[in-house]
Amino acid sequence: ATKGVILIGGPSKAPKPLLPIGGKPMIWHPLAALARIPELTEVFIVGFYEDALMTDFIRGAKREFPKLSISYLREYRSLGTAGGLYHFRDSLLPNLGMLFVLNADICSSFPLAELMDMHQKHRGVGTMMGVTVPKETATRYGCIVHDPASAQVLHYVEKPEKWISSLINGGVYLFDKSFFDEVKAAMDTKEKHAAEDPFGERDDILRLEQDVLVPLAAGRKLFVYESKDFWRQIKRAGSAVPASALYLNHFTKTNPKLLTAPSKEGGGPTIIAPVYIDPSAEVDPSAKIGPNVSLGANVVVAPGARVRDAIIMEGTTIDKHACVQNSIVGKHCKIGPWGRVDGAPEDPMDTKNNLNITILATEVTVAKETCIVLPNKTLNRSAHDQVLL
Ligand code: GDD
Ligand code: GTP
């Protein structure tokens, strides 16, 4: 059987994998992509968040994708990007054909069918999705030197000090079953080194990139599928708003039913597409929403309010004539009448990854007539770990 793994890492109080991006929890997107592969039947979400945090999501996902068996495999500690694959091999290996491994913290169209197509044309152990990024940003990622004619990876370096290539690891892989032999070999090598080193400590941590992909590339067993489609990493809270915009735009083409229809003549709020509004949200007809907005469950938007380029999480109220832009507003916040929450739009070429987005944490109240313009600031005691990270 073909199976899929989604790597979600962990932990923080509000789990980043559940942050709404494009109106859906971040990990919904890779899961939905796996569900589109006809022969894929089993998905394992691997991380070290508490089980309880994942239960509701998994219950909903099983209902939405009934053909998939979905389970959460919890690591007892952070085991690295390949440690969990090794640790849970007894769950993954039975009856395994091919295995997709997807990072959770990226946004992508997940061209898995194309990846599979290319994988079946060579005799390598794995195929990774490569994407091209601006030269100045390439060293933040795993960098790939390949032979364009054969798509073979000649050289792989995780986050090199100096630029070697702008084709980078997009965090989407397809492996043959024999991948587990490579993982086992990497673990053996690591244990051997630990045994030789008098101060060496034994642990189960294994890095997919340095410990497995590097030797795979050296052995010419790794290939790359170059995707030209949209791709972006979602590392910091600030990258969630532009990532959300990418998904909302993508849905305009692929799945417009997921979005809120542009305003009709005469009734309803002004909607500037693309916008996602949860069916339980209440938006006053005189409000103006969009572009690039998602409103979560039970959000209330009062008369005259304006929201653009923002993620508004469940239970938040935006009072009359308030204006929210380039911001993430956490659950159950209150933005008072005439309040203003404003971040600066992101500069895509900003190589320092400085993100001028305002983040309001859970249960913050912005009082009447407050005018807040706090680019790059977190507006509350513990906004960061409550919103993201
Ligand atoms: N289960 C589990 N356990 N998952 C983990 C762990 C862990 O201990 N650590 C990280 N992850 C998950 C993260 O949630 C994320 O989805 C993925 O694994 C990779 O995260 P990082 O290890 O933080 O690496 P990175 O994001 O800096 O870089 C990776 O992704 C880039 C693309 O976004 C590398 O694979 C790069 O080469 C790649 O370019
Ligand atoms: P669009 O491009 O269609 O969005 O037009 P616009 O940007 O000229 O006007 P828009 O309706 O987007 O108004 C948003 C701007 O209104 C923001 O840039 C804010 O600076 C400003 N604004 C500030 N406070 C408020 C408020 O309380 N209510 C509304 N509606 N707008 C406000």
pLDDT tens, 19-63? 999 999 999 999 999 999 999 999 999 999 999 999 999 999 999
Q: What is the DSSP letter of 4?
A: E
pLDDT for 15 equals 65
Which stretches of the chain drop beneath a pLDDT of 50?
A: 351, 353-354, 373-389
pLDDT for 373 equals 47
pLDDT for 263 equals 72
Q: Six-digit token pair at 20?
A: 């709404």
Q: Which of 270, 323, 369, 370 most suits a substitution to test ligand 2, by most atoms within 8 Å of the C-beta?
A: 323
CA distance 176 to 103: 18
Q: Which of 102, 105, 172 most suits a substitution to test ligand 1, by most atoms within 8 Å of the C-beta?
A: 105
User: What's the gap in Å between 285 CA and the centre of ligand 2?
Assistant: 16
- Ligand found nearest the CA of 323: 2
User: What's the gap in Å between 30 CA and the centre of ligand 1?
Assistant: 14
User: What's the gap in Å between 326 CA and the centre of ligand 2?
Assistant: 12
CA distance 17 to 48: 12
pLDDT for 194 equals 87
Q: Is 340 in the pocket of ligand 2 (CB under 6 A)?
A: yes
Q: Is 107 in the pocket of ligand 2 (CB under 6 A)?
A: no
pLDDT for 380 equals 40
- Ligand found nearest the CA of 158: 1
CA-proximal residue: ligand 2, atom 19 (nearest): 323
pLDDT for 235 equals 85
**Pairing between β-strand 142-147 and β-strand 126-132 as defined by DSSP bridges:** unpaired
In the chain, the percentage of residues whose pLDDT exceeds 70 is: 88
CA-proximal residue: ligand 2, atom 29 (nearest): 306
Q: In sequence order, which ranges of the chain are alpha helices (DSSP H)?
A: 28-35, 51-64, 80-87, 89-92, 112-119, 179-196, 214-218, 237-254, 383-387
pLDDT for 199 equals 81
pLDDT for 277 equals 97
CA-proximal residue: ligand 2, atom 24 (nearest): 323
pLDDT for 268 equals 85
> Ligand 1: which residues within 6 Å by Cβ?
7-9, 46-47, 75, 78-81, 84, 103-106, 141-142, 158, 168-171, 209, 233
239 touches 221 (CB < 8 A): no
Question: Of ligand 1's atoms, which has the minimum distance to the CA of residue 168?
Answer: 39
pLDDT for 226 equals 98
Q: Six-digit token pair at 108?
A: 């992508």
Q: Is 288 in the pocket of ligand 2 (CB under 6 A)?
A: yes
Stated pTM of the model: 0.89
pLDDT for 343 equals 78
Q: Is 323 in the pocket of ligand 2 (CB under 6 A)?
A: yes
* Residue appearing with tokens 């061209």: 111
* Residue appearing with tokens 């397809």: 174
Task: State the CB neighbour count (10 A cutoff) for residue 14.
Answer: 18
User: What's the gap in Å between 355 CA and the centre of ligand 2?
Assistant: 21
In the chain, the percentage of residues whose pLDDT exceeds 90 is: 74
